């Protein structure tokens, strides 16, 4: 890992902390500064409103002279998950990369492209209704990802509505299970009936 690359990424991290990007947070993996995880909060008045979209940037050791790869990890209806995206600021297009671009400009570019409908490698087409459904499910999806919980603990906490929905779902599941769970007396009664029927059949056969 080259020293200029590390110094550049450290500098950009401190700058992001001083000057946050609207609707986006980012954190490098503690064990590897070349791997940055980010979360896009769906802007209002878009199909992504209320959603949280986890993605990852993987920088080459000669950054900033070469661009990072970009992947989305949370289902979103705009990009495929766990697949490198073909964007002008990604490793698909080193010929268009400008070393002066920063992590902040990369993340702003991802968000801008997310809000467009231009097709590219790694993009998908889904209806606005489907994207809204995915937005509602995104937080619960992210909480199942250990690196998300580790790097973004404040975002991994369910809000009041989510807690209420999860509690209600759990109560409904328990009630349904209880409805079909036989009591001990029911089991004993059924066993006695079966035994009595078996005795009657045996007596009838011997007679």
This prediction has a pTM of: 0.78
Q: Determine the pLDDT at residue 158.
A: 87
CA-to-CA distance for 109 and 75, rounded, in angstroms? 19
Residue range 64-116, pLDDT digits in tens: 999 999 999 999 999 999 999 999 999 999 999 999 999 999 999 999 999 99
**Residue 169 pLDDT class (50, 70, 90 cuts):** low
- Considering the domain 3-157, what is its CATH architecture? Roll (3.10)
At 113-167, the pLDDT tens digits run 999 999 999 999 999 999 999 999 999 999 999 999 999 999 999 876 655 555 5
Strand ranges inside 67-120, DSSP E: 69-72
Considering only CA atoms, give the Rg of the chain: 27
Residue 191, pLDDT > 80, answer no
The span from the first CA to the last CA of the chain, in angstroms, equals 92
Residues labelled as active-site residues? 86
Query: Is residue 168 scored above 60 in pLDDT?
Result: no
Q: Is 59 helix (H, G, I), strand (E, B) or coil?
A: coil
Per-residue pLDDT tens for 47-64? 999 999 999 999 999 999
The tokens for 80 are 């495929």
């Amino acid at each position: 890992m080259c020293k200029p690359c590390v110094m550049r990424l450290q500098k950009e991290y401190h700058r992001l902390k001083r000057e946050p990007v609207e609707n986006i947070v980012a954190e490098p993996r503690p064990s590897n500064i070349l791997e940055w995880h980010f979360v896009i909060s769906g802007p209002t008045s878009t199909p992504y409103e209320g959603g949280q979209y986890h993605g990852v940037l993987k920088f080459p050791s000669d950054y900033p002279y070469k661009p990072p790869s970009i992947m989305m990890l949370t289902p979103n209806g705009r990009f495929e998950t766990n697949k490198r995206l073909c964007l002008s600021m990604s490793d698909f297009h080193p010929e268009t990369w400008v070393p002066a671009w920063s992590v902040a400009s990369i993340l702003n570019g991802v968000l801008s492209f997310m809000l467009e409908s231009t097709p590219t490698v790694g993009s998908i087409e889904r209806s606005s209704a489907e994207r809204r459904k995915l937005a509602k499910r995104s937080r619960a999806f992210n909480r199942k990802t250990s690196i998300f919980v580790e790097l973004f603990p404040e975002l991994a906490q369910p809000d009041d509505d989510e807690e209420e929905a999860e509690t209600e779902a759990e109560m409904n599941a328990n009630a349904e299970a209880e409805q079909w769970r036989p009591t001990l007396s029911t089991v004993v009664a059924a066993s006695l009936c079966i035994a009595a029927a078996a005795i009657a059949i045996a007596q009838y056969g011997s007679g």
